Every structure is written in C-alpha cells, then in structure tokens.
Structure 1
Amino acid sequence: MADDYPRINETYHRCLSFVSSRYGVSDSDISALTSVQNMCSNLSKLAERSRQLQGVLDLEQTAPADLAKPLYGYAAPTVVFISLLLNTVLVRNLTSKRLRSPTNVILAAMAIVDTLTGLVMMPYFVYAYTLDGYKKYPSMVWCYVYQYGRLLIPTCLHTIALWLTVLLSWQRYVGVSSRSCLRCICQYKGISLAIAGVVLFSCVLHSFQLLMYLQPITVVGKELFDQKGVILVETCSQRLSDRISNDSFIYIYTWIRLTLAEIVPCVLLTCFNVLLVKVTYVSFSYRRRLVIGNKLVQSTELRLILRTSAMLLLIAFSTLLVELFVAVNLLIKFVQEYHKTLQLISQDVLSRCTVISNFIIIATFPLNFVFCVCLSSGFRERLWRCLKPSRRRKITPRQLDPGQPEPREPVQQISLISVLRYSRQST
C-alpha cells in the first residue's frame, strides 16, 4: 500500500532509516522485522493523513525540486541582480532631461516594475531553493513570504508590466497615426493618469487572493523523529473564507485572471503591433517623399522613426511570446483542475512548464535595456557620457622667478575704422 502513495512511501522509508541509524543496524535488517514495518507503516499513514486533513503548506509540492533548485535557486538570483544594475542605469538615463519623454516614462515604469517583481520574489527563492528550505515545512514567517512575496505581489506586478506594454504600443500607435489624440496620451499628465489606472486595475484584479488566509497548525515534521521523540512543527495551511467554496474560488479567479490578465492584453498587443507596423510603413513612405531631395534629413529623420518603432515592437513582441506560453499553461491547469476526468498532460509536466515559464519571465527583465542600447542612438550617447570619464583641463600656475614682474594680459586694439563700420551696420 505504501507503493501506491509516494508521500507515505517516502515517510515510511524515513522511519526505517531513523530506526536503523538509532540501533546501528542496516536498513535491510530493520526491514525484515515485522514489528518495525508495522510501526513505520502506521506512523507514515497517520502523519500523512493528518497533513492532508489540515491542508499543510508543503513547499516541496509547489514545484519540482530538481528543476526549481537550479533555476529558482541559482539562475534567478543572478538574473535579478543583473536586472537591478541594468534597469537602474536605464531608468536614470530615460528620466534625464535630455531623454525624458512620455514614451520613455512608460519604459522607465516598466523597468521599475520588472525590477520590483524580481526583488520581491528573491527572499522566497533564496530560502526555499538556495538554502534548501523546501525540505521542511515553513514557519509562519515564511508562510507569509510565500503567500505575498511569491504569489500575490509578483502576480500583481507582472500584470502591471504587461498592461504597461499594451499602453506603450497604443501610445506609439496613436503618436504615429493621429495628431489629434496627442494631448490625451502623449503628454506627461495623460501618461501619469494612465499608469495610475493600470496599477489600480491590476490591484483590484488580483484582490481575490486576499480571500485566502493563513491558519497556524501543528503537524508531524518531515524528519519524523529526533533524539527526543516525534518532531512536531508549527506551520500553516492556506484556507478560504467559509462563505466561498474552493471550487468556486478557483473557477472565478482563474477565469478572471486568464481573461483580463492574459488573453485580452495579448490580443491588444497583437492588434497594436500589426497596426503600428502598417502605420509606420505609411509614415515612412510619406516622409521619404517629403525629404527625397535632402539626403541628410532623409538619413537622420527616417532612420530615427524606424529605430524607435523597431525598439518598441521588439519589446512588445518579446512580451507577447512569453505571455502566450504563460496563458497556455494557465489554461491547461484550469481545465485539468476543473474537469478532473480530462487530463491533457501529466501534473509533473505541467509543473515543470510552469517553472520554465516563470523563469523565462524573469529572464526577460534585462531585455528592455538591451533593446534601448541596440536601437536608440540617444540612449547610447547618454550612456556613453555617463560611463566615459570627464576630461578637464588642469590649470597650473606659472612659475615666476623671484623679483620678476607678473606679465600683463594683452590689450586688444580696436581700430576707428571697425567702430565706424559697426555703427553703420547697426543704423
């Protein structure tokens, strides 16, 4: 029976290992004793049954450890640290007086949100996978870190970043296609109100997760025994309000998140990107006809338009590819949880795809800096001025011999003819 339940089987073998190490005999000899087998079997079933009834939060079950440990525990902190450095430079340059514009304000807001997303998740990743905290049940402090620092706040920030990308595509499309709408979206006041609306919308959208609260519980630890006896740990369980059933919460929240945080933004991004490509081509052709006689203007103005549009298209397209992968994973997870009989893929494969998609999202945080460096000449010039050490002339006083008079500055002589010529021109 222990082979049919992986958790019970794992607890059962831990019990045998403890008894064998306690009495100094091998596991095979202990396994041959019927009394020890019965004790470990009953204890493992009782402990696992108690954990299931209380709904204990097991970090080991949230993600496959063999994949999450290298990605979340080692690669993700490195990427987040690099993103923090690059996005700090990006925000500092985009908000400077020379490069400040409504479009760059949106880019700076996206960089800030991406950096905050990575920083909020780092404490949980370091504890759970870098320091192997997933091998034991979390304390109440780490339960709150998981609830808010891993689930609620990063999800909300990621939705803000996605809708800011939609806002960026729409703002660029409006700015290129229509001059009458520039007052509402291409000025700082309109952009600030739009960003505030995106933040408020995302917070309201994910406020459903506040219905889930953490309840302190006491269960048998994963180690089962120590020198004093059975290990009891104080941990937590995730509970919903008594007025809402678990199935209803999963159904409503998943549909709302899938629709408003994944499908609708992806559709809008696709539409705005297609329209932006079309409008950019029309505007490029029109301006090319206007400046066809001036090669200098033609090579600067048109190149600037193409590079700016290409940079924003790359940002939106990379976001769209990642979000399509996330939306497919979320849809499959919803279908399999709501329709128990319909299993499209195994739960292990779905968990691995979720880990990979989350890491891909983290890996895209430094891409905005890369796109700006590659396609924005103004950003490159500003960055080079910040990195290049300033060269100032060193003024050294002239050494004079003792008793030598200080030389006078030469006096410029002004002729009478030049004065008369200047007075005639002024009159």
Structure 2
Amino acid sequence: MDHKTIENFTQTTNLMDGTQVVGDSYGPNLWSLSLTLSHNSSNSTPYNESHFGDDYNLTTNVSIPEPMQRVFNITQTTPIEYAMVMYGYIMPFLLIMTLVANILIVLVLAQKHMRTPTNIVLLSMAVADMLTLVFPSPWYFYMYTLGYHTELLYPPVACYAYSQMIEVIPMFFHTASIWLTILLAGQRYIYICHPVLAKTWCTIPRVSRAIITIFIMSFSAQFSRFFDSFYKSVEFESNGVTCMGCQQLMADWVENYQNFYFPLYFGFRIIFVNMGPCLALVVLNVFLFMALRRAQRKRKKLFQDKRNTESKNIRDSNSTTYMLMVVVTVFLMVEIPMAVATLIHVLANTAIIPFPDENFKYLKITILITNFIIMLSFPLNFAIYCGMSRQFRETFSQLFIKKLRDQVQGSKSAVTTATNL
C-alpha cells in the first residue's frame, strides 16, 4: 500500500466503502480553532458546513454525505506557500531562540534572592510560552523543514499524536500564559493602588496557589479535546493507486450533543481565552498607567522635600511597573489580532454575521500569520527584562557573564604561567 499523497490533491478520491471525496474538500471541522496548525474534522453539523472550525481548510464548499470520510492531508489544510516559509525555514531558529531565552529567564528568576510574587509569575509565563512552542515543533520540523507535508499521515496513533501536539497541548499552555498575564497585571495593580491589601494577597504562597489553579483550569478547558475525536485506518484510491491514511471521526458523546458541545466550547474560548482577557488587560494597563502618573507626582514631591529614600523606593517600584506594562502591551499587540480573527471566524460560521465565501481564504492566511506572530513574541520578554530591570541584568551578569569572563581570564593566566615556565 502506498501512503503518499499528491501535493496538489485535487482529483476525485474514492474511499474503499464507496464514499467519494472531491479535491481537498473533506467536510467541516468544528473543533480546531487553535493556536497552531489545525487539520481536524467532524461529522455533519447544523452549522455552516463549508468553513466552521478548521483554521486552514476554509475553502471547502462540498457537502459530504454521512458517514463523513476525512483523510488527513496536511498540504490541503494550510496555505502551504506561507507555512513552508514560517514553519519550515524560520521555525527551527525561532525554537532555538525561544528555548535559550526562556531557559535563561527561568535560571535567573529561580535564584533565591529573585524569588518574589511578581517574579514567580514571570517564571511561570516563561515556562508556559516555552512549552507552547516545544510540543508542536517536532511536527513542524518533520512536516515543513523535512518536507513530509506531501505525505498522508499514518498510522492512526501518529494522527492522534499530531492533533494533540500541534493543537490541544499548545492551546493548554497558551491559555495558561494568557491567564498568567492577567494575574501579573492584576497583582501589580494591587501593589500600586492597594498596598495594604498587597501584604495579604500578594504573598508567595498565595501567588503560587493561584498559578497552580491557573494551570489546572487551563487543562480543564482543553480536557474534552483529548477525547472528542478518534482515528482509524482507511484505504482509498487516488488516481488509480490504493493508499493508506487516517480517518478522523467524532466520539459518540460529541456526535450526540454537538449542538451543545461546539457552541459551549467556542463560546468559552471567545469569552475567557480570546476577547475577555484582552479587554481585561487593556483596562488594567490603563489603570496602571494612571497609577504611575500619580506615583511620579508623589516621587517628584518627595524629591523636592529631600526625602531621598522614599523617592528611590517609588522609583524602583515605578521601573518594575513600567517593565510589566511593556510586557502586557506586547502581549496585547499580538493577541488582539488573533482574538478578532477568532471572533470573526466563529460568528461567520454560525451565520451570525454575513461573510462571503471568497473572503475565507484571506481569513485563513490572517489566522496563520497571527499565530506565527504570537510565536515570534515568545523570546521577547528576555530582551524586555534585560533592558528594563536592573536586578535582572545584574543577576544574569553574575550567573553567566562574570563566570564566563573569570573562566577566560583563568585560561589566559594558565597559558601565561605555562609559557613563563
């Protein structure tokens, strides 16, 4: 049996049970509006059968009779000309940069003298961002860097691993990162505007419990995705050649309750993962900016009164707040476009808003690019911390630069001593 597919797979394909699939139109997919590349499918649904749910297979206009047959074909589920550049050529370098940057953040913030409630949240964000990229990267490398996107994925266990590592697991960690960012901004707001409450609420034990709760809730939000579909082997003919592939089907409990499951899942995503956090962070950032203005006026007055110690404390606090505001602003710059695209996608496919079919190809490309921009932002926090936190720079220098310099100087001294002898 041949399991290779044709890169431009547009011919009529006949499955062995007689079901016919035309071109790249394998039917709707309601469960894969994900952070990363998506390829899933579902049975027929009461929603728009052409587009709903599949991030990158948005041009389908063929209604497939039940039982719906869907064969994984990566080439037809993403704009390949864009994906090859972003995920095939740039991604390996981005992965290395993200790993190095976030591992350095973890090592610096894990130092005993750096353990503060704020730094614990920043450390958790670094871990979440890093794992968001680590899990799908092997598949990006295999599919796009090595060029195996032209082959059908097989056997079913590989198809399941692909769907979980490309979509579900990264979405779990990215959801955690989003909610950790809200925790970071909310905690800073309490520090600045309610310092008395901060002594009670913003302690290391309380913040640690909040972080654990966020990861548990993020996992719970994605838990059903581990079980809402299953995969089985399928034989089909393409251009007279018998091929092997994976067929994806809904789990029975999803098929029986899809009118409830899909609106609930996507509604939750829009409110609590996409639009809601962005709106909350915009409001918190505005409040932090207003609080900073008040703190600056207070510091100026203290400086004029020659109360230098209090003035210095306010200056250090303001520097930390500025840094966190930059972190939140960068987050909003990359997340808001994705939130808007997600909202349009869902509203269009539930027929709440009119959306011409010919425009879905642009939405498909927009989602792909915004996903990649989010990934590009993962190494940026290291540069922000180095540029805006004196304590971070000094700790980083002590851990790495000073040790490296001492080793180099020690090597030179050893060479000089040996030469003199």
Query: 2:321 aligned with 1:309, yes or no?
Result: yes
Residue 263 of structure 1 and its aligned partner are, at CA, apart by: 1.7
Q: How do 1:51-70 residues align onto structure 2 when only pairs under 5 Å count? A: 53-70=68-85
Residue 154 of structure 1 and its aligned partner are, at CA, apart by: 0.6
| 1:202 aligned counterpart, secondary structure | helix
- Could you tell which deviates more after superposition, 330-339 or 341-350? 341-350
Q: How do 1:135-214 residues align onto structure 2 when only pairs under 5 Å count? A: 135-139=150-154, 140-214=156-230
Q: Which residue of 2 aligns with 1:93?
A: 108
Q: Deviations over 1:125-173 (max 9, x none)?
A: 1122222222222112331222210111111111100110000001111
- Could you tell which deviates more after superposition, 54-63 or 310-319? 54-63
Residue 332 of structure 1 and its aligned partner are, at CA, apart by: 1.4
Name the aligned partner's letter for residue 181 of structure 1.
L
Select 2:252's aligned residue among 241, 253, 263: 241
Mapped contact 1:114–1:161 kept (Cα < 8 A)? yes
Mapped contact 1:76–1:362 kept (Cα < 8 A)? no
Q: Which residue of 2 aligns with 1:231?
A: 242
Q: Which residue of 2 aligns with 1:387?
A: 401
Q: Which residue of 1 aligns with 2:380?
A: 367
Between 1 and 2, higher relative CO (CA 8 Å, sep ≥ 6) is seen in 2
Q: Deviations over 1:46-71 (max 9, x none)?
A: 46499653122322232111111111
Mapped contact 2:278–2:332 kept (Cα < 8 A)? yes
Summarize the Cα distance change of 1:142–1:11 in structure 2 as closer, same or farther, 3 Å threshold.
same
Structure-2 separation of matches of 1:354 and 1:380:
36
Structure-2 separation of matches of 1:214 and 1:166:
34
Name the aligned partner's letter for residue 239 of structure 1.
M
Structure-2 separation of matches of 1:301 and 1:220:
71
Structure-2 separation of matches of 1:221 and 1:307:
64
Residue 9 of structure 1 and its aligned partner are, at CA, apart by: 7.9
Structure-1 separation of matches of 2:321 and 2:73:
47
| 1:215 aligned counterpart, secondary structure | strand
Residue 302 of structure 1 and its aligned partner are, at CA, apart by: 4.4
Residue 207 of structure 1 and its aligned partner are, at CA, apart by: 2.3
Structure-2 separation of matches of 1:152 and 1:394:
54
Name the aligned partner's letter for residue 231 of structure 1.
T
Residue 320 of structure 1 and its aligned partner are, at CA, apart by: 1.3
Name the aligned partner's letter for residue 371 of structure 1.
I
Q: Which residue of 1 aligns with 2:365?
A: 352
Normalized against structure 1, the TM-score is what?
0.76
Name the aligned partner's letter for residue 175 of structure 1.
Y
Identical-pair percentage: 26
- Could you tell which deviates more after superposition, 272-281 or 235-244? 235-244
Residue 75 of structure 1 and its aligned partner are, at CA, apart by: 1.2
- Could you tell which deviates more after superposition, 306-315 or 284-293? 284-293
Q: Which residue of 2 aligns with 1:36?
A: none
Structure-2 separation of matches of 1:313 and 1:324:
16
Summarize the Cα distance change of 1:297–1:61 in structure 2 as closer, same or farther, 3 Å threshold.
same
Q: Which residue of 2 aligns with 1:273?
A: 285
Structure-2 separation of matches of 1:220 and 1:113:
40
Structure-1 separation of matches of 2:285 and 2:318:
14
Residue 298 of structure 1 and its aligned partner are, at CA, apart by: 7.6
- Could you tell which deviates more after superposition, 380-389 or 114-123? 380-389
Mapped contact 1:56–1:238 kept (Cα < 8 A)? no
Q: Which residue of 1 aligns with 2:31?
A: none
What is the root-mean-square deviation in Å for CA atoms of aligned residues?
3.0
Q: Which residue of 2 aligns with 1:73?
A: 88
| 1:346 aligned counterpart, secondary structure | helix
Structure-1 separation of matches of 2:315 and 2:337:
33
| 2:136 aligned counterpart, secondary structure | helix
Q: Deviations over 1:285-316 (max 9, x none)?
A: 22332232448658744442332111100111
Q: Deviations over 1:250-303 (max 9, x none)?
A: 322111110111122112111111111111221232233223244865874444
Summarize the Cα distance change of 1:300–1:165 in structure 2 as closer, same or farther, 3 Å threshold.
same
Mapped contact 2:110–2:123 kept (Cα < 8 A)? yes
Q: Tell me, which stretches of 5 or more residues in structure 2 are unaligned?
A: 1-6, 27-63, 415-421
Mapped contact 1:80–1:362 kept (Cα < 8 A)? no
Structure-2 separation of matches of 1:108 and 1:87:
9
Structure-2 separation of matches of 1:367 and 1:100:
21
Name the aligned partner's letter for residue 130 of structure 1.
T
| 2:243 aligned counterpart, secondary structure | strand
Mapped contact 1:56–1:235 kept (Cα < 8 A)? yes
Q: How do 1:39-54 residues align onto structure 2 when only pairs under 5 Å count? A: 46=20, 48=22, 53-54=68-69
Name the aligned partner's letter for residue 196 of structure 2.
S
Mapped contact 1:60–1:134 kept (Cα < 8 A)? yes
Summarize the Cα distance change of 1:111–1:268 in structure 2 as closer, same or farther, 3 Å threshold.
same
Normalized against structure 2, the TM-score is what?
0.77
Name the aligned partner's letter for residue 401 of structure 2.
L
| 1:324 aligned counterpart, secondary structure | helix
Name the aligned partner's letter for residue 147 of structure 1.
S
Name the aligned partner's letter for residue 364 of structure 2.
S
Mapped contact 1:143–1:214 kept (Cα < 8 A)? no
Q: Tell me, which stretches of 5 or more residues in structure 1 are unaligned?
A: 1-6, 16-39, 396-427
Structure-1 separation of matches of 2:237 and 2:80:
19
